[in-house]
C-alpha cells in the first residue's frame, strides 16, 4: 500500500447499529496514526492518535485499534446515533517526517433515525 486508504467510502446504518471502518496504510517508517471526525460545515476534530502496535483507544462509544506491522487500523462505533453522522478521516505520518500527515479520503457515515 502506497497511500492511506479508507473503506468503505460511505456507509448508511440504522440508529442503534454498531459499525466499523478500515484504514490501511504503508507500514514502513511509521510514527503515528490519527483518526478525525469531520461534521458537515465544521472542521475536523481529533478522536485518537495511536503510536504503538496493538494499541487500542476508546472514547465513549467509539474505539480504535492499530496494527502497525500489517498496516491497518479499525474504528468501531457501538450503538450508532444520528449525531455520529460525519466523515471519519484517518492519517499517518509520511515522508519519514513526524510532521507530514497523509490523509485518507474518509468514510462518510450516515446514521438514520
Minimum Å distance from CB 8 to other proteins?
15
Which residue lies nearer to other proteins by CB, 31 or 76? 31
Which residue lies nearer to other proteins by CB, 2 or 99? 99
Give long-range contacts, CB 8 A cutoff, 24+ apart: 27-31. Answer: 27/68, 27/69, 27/70, 27/71, 29/93, 29/96, 30/68, 30/71, 30/92, 30/93, 31/92, 31/93, 31/98
Which residue lies nearer to other proteins by CB, 15 or 39? 39
Contact footprint for other proteins (CB under 8 A): 4, 31-32, 34, 36, 42-46, 49-51, 89, 91, 98-106
* Distance of alpha carbon 54 from alpha carbon 69, whole angstroms: 9
Minimum Å distance from CB 72 to other proteins?
17
Sign (positive or negative) of CA dihedral 13, 84, 58, 11: positive
Which residue lies nearer to other proteins by CB, 34 or 80? 34
Minimum Å distance from CB 98 to other proteins?
6
Amino acid at each position: 500500500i502506497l497511500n492511506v486508504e479508507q473503506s468503505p467510502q460511505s456507509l448508511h446504518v440504522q440508529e442503534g447499529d454498531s459499525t466499523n471502518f478500515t484504514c490501511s496504510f504503508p507500514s514502513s517508517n511509521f510514527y503515528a496514526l490519527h483518526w478525525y471526525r469531520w461534521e458537515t460545515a465544521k472542521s475536523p476534530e481529533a478522536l485518537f492518535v495511536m503510536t504503538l502496535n496493538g494499541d487500542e483507544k476508546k472514547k465513549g462509544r467509539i474505539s480504535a485499534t492499530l496494527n502497525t506491522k500489517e498496516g491497518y487500523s479499525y474504528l468501531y462505533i457501538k450503538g450508532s446515533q444520528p449525531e455520529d453522522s460525519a466523515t471519519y478521516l484517518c492519517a499517518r505520518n509520511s515522508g519519514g517526517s513526524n510532521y507530514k500527515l497523509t490523509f485518507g479520503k474518509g468514510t462518510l457515515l450516515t446514521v438514520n433515525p
